[in-house]
Amino acid sequence: MTFLRWHRLPWAAGLGCFLAVMTWTVLVTPRYRSTALVRVQDDPSSSGLSDALSAIPGAGMLGLSRDEVESEIGVLTSRRVLDAVIDTLALTVRRPAGERADVATIAVRAPEDDLDGKLTFTPTDGGTWAVDLRLEAPSELAPSAATLVAGDTLRVGGIWLRFDPRFEPGEAPSPLELRFTPRYEVREALVDRLDVRRQEIGSRLIAISFDDSDRRLAAQVVDRMLAEYLSFVARTERGDLGSTAAELRRQVEAQRVALAAAEEALRRNQERSGLVVPEEQAAAQVKRYAALRAELDAAEVERRAVAGMLALTEERAGQTRSPEAYRQLATYPSLLSNRAIQDLLESLLTLENTRSERQLLLADESRELRQLASRIAEIERSLQRLGTQYLEAIAVRSRSLTAAIDTIDGELAQLPREEMTYIRLLRDRQVLNEGYLLLQKQLRQTELREALRLDQVRIVDTPIIAHPDDPQFPKVWVHLVLALVLGLSVGTAVAAAQRSTRPV
């Protein structure tokens, strides 16, 4: 018998190990997994800098090549998001086994109340339930009611519960238990069972998974994480865009006022100086100046010529004591083209012809011949007066041309300064106008982004509630194989130990 027991020991050890593993697999509380997948959109404003940093040798070791995906993973696992999930879902209150929703709906009103203990609901006669609160640390805290029925609300410190027990059809009511866990332990367990990682190297997809014995709560945790994270991103983006839009509106208004002042200054300068197109106006003034100068020079030449002619005729008239010398004025081209002189010359010619004809018939002392001679002399003196008046007209015209030239000289002398002032005012207006248009464009883009609020993160797969027959842990067939391997390993080890201790 001793020999048989000795040889059966390895088999017994291996079988015992196998049965222990399988028993633990059957009795352990299963955990269910809920998974979500999100995609982080490219950020055009930082992609260029990120690519440049990634291209630096050794940037990965220094942490310079990390993109926004890793930053978003850090935000997802931040204390801000995790605490919001804990408070929203009241994860400090759990059911030791089973789903918490089958006992009560729970809300946390005062997160600062950190309880450690258990709350038991025991069915009594009449459909009521007795409430028993037991805390690890001595406390005067007590539930708001000692008994309650389904649908009642119970308050324990800052935690509110709506009691709603659920049982399978035909199942008798049995005591229900809820466990209060300190907040730090809940956070540690949440971090331990939460997995947030990049799906693949270089991918912009983030996989979020959470394992828990409460399959509904597992899906709620992932869903709540996404909601809190997206809310945080939306608030941050709206806040940034809102402050940017407000600052841009202020800058646009200031730029508009400055532009209006520059336009008004340019308008006043144009009205005062008369400058509209300085280059063309300056060219026109120079052309006008040249034309007037040429006309003045021609008038001066003509004035000197007429003055010389008058002086010559006056001298001859003084020597001969006869006005016939003034007939020489008619030989001057400008005077000859004068209509009045032409009329006088025509009259003079007619009178000369008449006198020649009458001299053949009458004596020189006749009254008619004397009248003709007097009329001829009067016309000759008229030629002298017209010559003098023509000279005076030329002088007046020369003075007018000189005054016009002096005016243009003054305008041309001031033109460079006026043009520089005009150019400076025009430049100021153009610069302000370009800045105003640029700010307007940026404001419209910011307002459009603020209106559309394009999310940087897009949800690809939403979390779902796992099937009751599909736990993430334990996997029966996997544990069966592991139990067989472990049993064989233990049996082999025991057999080897027996051989080493068997007496020779």
pLDDT, position 414 = 65
Q: How far apart are CA 346 and CA 354, in angstroms?
A: 12
Clarify whether residues 169 and 277 are in a common domain. no
Give the residue among 443, 68, 438, 71 at the shortest CA–CA distance from 241.
443
Domain boundary among the residues 423, 451, 479 is at 451
- Specify whether 176 is located in the same domain as 282: no
Please indicate, yes or no, if residue 329 is contained in any of the structural domains: yes
Residue pair 247/447 in contact by the 8 Å Cβ criterion:
no
Residue that is last in its domain, among 181, 212, 241: 181
Is residue 340 situated within a structural domain? yes
How do residues 268-309 score in pLDDT, each as one tens digit? 887 777 766 666 666 776 777 778 778 777 777 777 777 776
Mean pLDDT, range 205-226, rounded to an integer = 92
Q: Look at residue 456 and tell me if it is in a domain.
A: no
Angstrom CA distances, 325 to 316, 329, 383, 439, stand at 6, 8, 10, 86
Query: Is 434 among the domain residues?
Result: yes
Q: Across the strands, what pairs with 132?
A: 120
Mean pLDDT of 411-421: 69
Domain assignment present for 20: no
Within this chain, do residues 316 and 422 fall inside the same structural domain, yes or no?
Answer: yes
Assigned domain for 30 exists: no
Q: What is the pLDDT of residues 400-409, one digit of tens each?
A: 888 887 777 7
Compute the distance between CA of residue 259 and CA of residue 266 in angstroms, rounded to an integer: 10
pLDDT computed for residue 61 by the predictor = 46
Q: What is the pTM of this model?
A: 0.57
Number of structural domains the chain divides into: 2
Full residue range of the structural domain in which residue 328 is found? 273-451
- How high is the pLDDT of residue 281? 65
The answer to whether 131 and 146 have CB atoms below 8 angstroms apart is: yes
Alpha-carbon distances, residue 398 vs 95, 294, 309, 406 (angstroms): 117, 11, 18, 12
Q: What is the mean pLDDT of residues 482-499?
A: 80
Q: Residue 331 pLDDT > 60, yes or no?
A: no
66 SS3 class: coil
Question: What distance in Å separates the CA atoms of residue 162 and residue 157, rounded to the nearest whole number?
Answer: 14
User: Could you tell me how far CA 82 lies from the centroid of its own chain?
Assistant: 32
More confident residue, 418 or 222: 222
pLDDT at 240 over 50: yes
pLDDT score at 415:
66
Per-residue confidence (pLDDT) for residue 209, from 0 to 100:
94
The DSSP output letter for 459 is E
210 in Cβ contact with 194 (< 8 Å): yes
Residue closest to 344 by CA, chosen among 376, 310, 307: 376
Q: How confident is the model at residue 1 (pLDDT cuts 50, 70, 90)?
A: very low
Q: Are 266 and 424 within 8 A, CB to CB?
A: no
* C-alpha span between 350 and 335 (Å, rounded): 19
Q: Tell me which residue of 26, 2, 18, 3 sits closest to 490, measured CA to CA.
A: 18
Average pLDDT over every residue of 425-431: 84
The answer to whether residue 164 scores a pLDDT higher than 80 is yes
Residues 286 and 423 in one domain: yes
Burial of 65 (0-12, 13-18, 19+ CB in 10 A): middle
* Site of tokens 């269910």: 32
Q: 455 or 300: which carries more pLDDT confidence?
A: 300
- Is residue 210 within 8 A of residue 191, CB to CB? The reply is no
Question: Are 170 and 287 members of one domain?
Answer: no
Whether 357 is in a domain gets the answer yes
Give the 3-state secondary structure of 169-196: CCCCCCCEEEEECCHHHHHHHHHHHEEE
User: Are 34 and 463 in contact, with CB atoms under 8 Å apart?
Assistant: yes
Residues in the chain: 504
Between residues 57 and 91, which one has the greater pLDDT?
Answer: 91
Q: Which two tokens stand for residue 182?
A: 């300190």
- Asked if residue 502 has pLDDT above 90, the reply is no
Query: Do residue 312 and residue 442 come from a single domain?
Result: yes
User: Do 168 and 307 belong together in one domain?
Assistant: no
Give the residue from 181, 196, 225 where a domain finishes.
Answer: 181
Same domain? 304 vs 409: yes
pLDDT value at 39 more than 80: yes
Look at residues 403, 407, 415 and name the one whose alpha carbon lies nearest to residue 281: 415
Instruction: Tell me the average pLDDT across 158-170.
Output: 86
Between CA 149 and CA 77 the distance in angstroms is 39
Given a cut of 60, is residue 3 above it in pLDDT? no
66-122 pLDDT, tens digit per residue, is 567 888 888 899 999 999 999 889 899 988 888 888 888 888 777 767 788 899 999
Mean pLDDT of all residues in 445-473? 77
Tell me what pLDDT residue 116 has.
87
Amino acid at 500: S
Mean pLDDT of 17-46: 78
Query: In whole angstroms, what is the distance from residue 160 CA to residue 90 CA?
Result: 10
Predicted pLDDT of residue 196: 93
Q: Which residue has the tokens 């992609």?
A: 47
pLDDT of 324 > 70? The answer is no
Q: Give residue-wise pLDDT tens across range 350-406.
A: 766 676 766 666 666 667 767 776 776 676 667 667 667 777 777 888 888 888 877
**Where residue 4 falls among pLDDT bands split at 50, 70, 90?**
very low
pLDDT band per the 50, 70, 90 thresholds, residue 7: low
Q: Is residue 336 part of a domain?
A: yes
Q: What is the pLDDT of residue 190?
A: 92
Q: Which two tokens stand for residue 55?
A: 């291209």
